[in-house]
Amino acid sequence: MSAELVFAVVGGADLCLKYGNILIQAYQDLKNADEIVLSRVVWLEAFWSRTVSQIEFVKRVAQTMAPEHCRIHIEVFEILRARLTNAKSRLKSLIEPSHQGNPVKKWRVPFLRSSLDDMREQLEMWQRLFDPTWYLILRIENEVIDKEFSRSLSTAANTINTTLVHIISPLFLPGNGLDWTKAETVAYSTTTMVPKIGSSRKYAIDSIDCLSSVELAQLRADTERLAHKLQHVDPDVFGLLKCYGLVKRKSPLTRQISSIDMVFTLPPQSGTPISLRQQLLQPQVFSLTRVLELARQITSAVSFVHTCDFVHKNIRPETILSFAFNGANDANASRVTYLLGFDTFRSVNFHTMRTGDNFWERNLYRHPSRQGLNAHDKYTMQHDVYSIGVCLLEIGLWSSFVDYGDGTETPVGNTTPSKALGLKTEDFEPRAIGWTVSYGHIKDHLVDLARSSLPRRMGDKFTSLVITCLTCLDHDSEDFKDQEEMHDEDGVLLGLKFIEKVVFRISEVSF
């Protein structure tokens, strides 16, 4: 490890701590301006307390990190430093040079509130960049990291510990706790809403089929491990709902486990969920800023799943749900987006059967090497990245690539490619190339569509990001080249590559 890189990480961390502490103290001196300002400052204090613990941890273990990991932390700390100094300059303009009592005049209090709101938004955006890089440290097998982590008694570290380390906590729920007679399907989605017996409270359910699995023991172990980690995830940061628990369902004939249901807690005061597919089938009625935020939430969710050493395998608009704030259900309501559809997820180390299906509407979101009845390649994290690319292209154009006929709302069957996609059903048949067959023409069409139609809608940066995702498995990919070198023992390098090439770049897009 280069000493210069370690010093740069520590130096960047120290600058963040310095400017952050100055800013927090300045806000604390103003928190009596009114009750709204007080509540904003209290949130900021809690956020900064957690962040300080994480930054101090990075300083102590910087010498154990790979050069790529150090470089990303240097960049993340520089982003935070810039945001803290900008906030300090803005706050300075609101404070009287000399004051007695309250340093902010009443007419400036609304501007102070706005400053605090902007600061919160900037810090939450930064947190989405920082947390995945921080979590990846815990994946490194190193005695120094283990020792420092075990020493940490801060609330933040304990929260991360319960998130990423297997813990003993109630996980399996009674099989008769949910009222399946009142189950409701979410339109154009793979997720089901089921109420608790004797209650109006509903839960989101993803059912994992166990009857067709040849590795049931491994599947159950992976499901339990993922559920443990999702029990303590922060939905607002990572775009993933908290897992309330698991329910084993048995076949009435054989009494064998037929499925394991992942039960997710819904956001508080949320309205009826709407799938991304349903949104894409409707005209866009909100700003491009909202569209971009939706895309960021999806990439954050996938980043967390990968950090936990899983692949999702089912990223498409039918597995993404949005909930309106305060129960509002109109099309223009502000919404929070979450990734679900965990019915086919797997550990990255689990060698799945390379079997698929011929549903074109699913193959659309699969890399050419994973399409058809018999997939050519083992599923890797890059295959998820490709799926993200297709979804981001669809989101950027805001036009569904799948048309549902006859008003059906089921996630598969009776569908046709949309005009926006520019393909026909027969185009999803493999094409002969020498002695083999290939689905590469579908990917090539999507890349051409991104290059021709996306820039005028979402700009060059977003377009470049989409193309990066779609070509991540190409042998000449500039951003994901040398794929064999990215597969280190801890799986950290590939996670860093996703953060650097996808999460960071989407954070740089603005309108």
pLDDT given at position 49: 92
Give the mean model confidence (pLDDT) for residues 41-65. Answer: 90
Q: What is the CATH number of domain 274-507?
A: 1.10.510.10
**What's the pLDDT tens digit per position in 268-282?**
878 889 999 999 999
- Kindly tell me if the per-residue pLDDT of 206 is higher than 90: yes
255: tokens are: 């009494």
Q: What is the pLDDT of residue 3?
A: 84
Domain ranges of the chain: 3-164, 274-507
Helix and strand tally (H, E) in the chain?
16, 16
- Structure confidence at residue 154 as a pLDDT band (50, 70, 90): very low
Going by the DSSP 8-state scheme, the letter that residue 134 receives in this structure is H
Top-confidence residue, 12 or 26: 12
Say which DSSP state 273 is in.
Answer: -
- The pLDDT score that the predictor gives to residue 97 is 56
- Is the pLDDT assigned to residue 145 strictly greater than 50? yes
- Work out the pLDDT band at 438, boundaries 50, 70, 90: confident
Instruction: Report the candidate in 176, 307, 173, 340 with the shortest Cα–Cα distance to residue 244.
Output: 173
Q: From CA 47, how far away is CA 39, in angstroms rounded?
A: 13
The reply to whether the predicted model has a pTM over 0.75 is yes
Which residue from 133, 138, 128, 136 is spatially nearest to 158, judged by alpha carbons?
138
pLDDT for 194 beyond 50 = yes
Q: Tens of pLDDT along 314-343?
A: 999 999 999 987 656 666 677 899 999 999
Residue predicted with more confidence, 2 or 501: 501
- Cα distances (angstroms) measured from residue 417 to each of 383, 444, 448, 457: 22, 16, 17, 21
- The span from the CA of 397 to the CA of 388, in Å, is 14
Torsion of Cα atoms, 419 then 424 then 425 then 426, to 10°: 180
Distance CA 228, CA 165 (A): 9
> What is the mean predicted confidence (pLDDT) over 440-447?
94
Q: Sign of dihedral through CA atoms 138, 53, 225, 202?
A: negative
| Residue 120: exposure state from Cβ atoms within 10 A (0-12, 13-18, ≥19) | middle
Give the HSE-up count for residue 386: Cα atoms under 13 Å, Cβ half-sphere.
28
What pLDDT, on the 0 to 100 scale, is given for residue 162?
46
| Burial of 432 (C-beta count, 10 Å sphere; 0-12/13-18/19+) | exposed
CA distance 510 to 462: 9
Burial code of 81-108, b = ≥16 C-beta within 10 A, e = fewer? Answer: bebbeebbeebeebbeeeeeeebbeeeb
Are 160 and 308 in contact, with CB atoms under 8 Å apart? no
pLDDT of 33 higher than 50: yes
| pLDDT score for 326 | 67
Choice among 82-96, 110-124, 345-359 with the minimum mean pLDDT: 345-359
Distances (CA, A) of 478 to 343, 376, 379, 464: 32, 23, 21, 12
Higher local confidence (pLDDT), 414 or 20: 20
| Residue 336 φ/ψ, nearest 5 degrees | -110, 135
- Which H or E run includes 260? strand 257-265
